[in-house]
Amino acid sequence: MSKSVGFVGLGTMGKPMAANLLKAGFRVVICPHRNPAPVQELAALGAVVVPTAREVAAAAPVVVTCLPDGPQVEETVLGPAGLLAAGQPGLTIIDTSTINPQTAQALARQAAEHGAVLVDAPMSGGEAGAIAGTLTFMIGGDAAAVTACQDVFLAMGKKTYYVGGPGMGQVVKLCNNLMLAVNLVGVCEAFALGVKAGVDAATLAEVVQASSGGSAVIERYFPKTIAKNQYQPGFRLKLMSKDLNLALAAARQLGVPSLAGVTAGQVFDMLKSMGRGEDDFTVIATLYQDIGGVVIGTPAPAAAAAKS
What mean pLDDT do residues 206-225 have? 95
Q: In the chain, which ranges are E strands?
A: 4-8, 27-30, 48-49, 62-65, 92-95, 117-120, 123-124, 135-140, 157-164
Confidence of residue 308 (pLDDT cuts 50, 70, 90): very low
Instruction: Give the domain range for residue 78.
Output: 4-165
**pLDDT tens digit sequence for 120-170:** 999 999 899 999 999 999 999 999 999 999 999 999 999 999 999 999 999
CATH code of the domain in which 140 resides: 3.40.50.720
106: confidence class by pLDDT, cuts 50, 70, 90: very high
Question: Do 178 and 254 belong to one domain?
Answer: yes
Lowest mean pLDDT across 71-80, 91-100, 179-188, 226-235: 226-235
Claim to verify: residue 278 and residue 181 sit in the same structural domain: yes
Tell me what percent of the residues of the chain surpass a pLDDT of 90. Answer: 92
Over residues 24-44, the mean pLDDT reads 95
65 and 9 within one domain? yes
- Residue 8's DSSP bridge partners are 65
Catalytic residue among 173, 238, 242, 272: 173
In this model, does residue 203 exceed pLDDT 70?
A: yes
Q: Is 41 in the same domain as 78?
A: yes
Query: Among this protein's residues, is 307 annotated catalytic?
Result: no
Whether 190 and 88 map to the same domain: the answer is no
The per-residue pLDDT for 306 is 47
- pLDDT above 70: residue 275: yes
Look at the chain and report how many structural domains it folds into.
Answer: 2
Whether residue 177 sits in one domain with residue 133: no
Residue 234: pLDDT band with limits 50, 70, 90: confident
For residue 263, pLDDT over 50 is answered with: yes
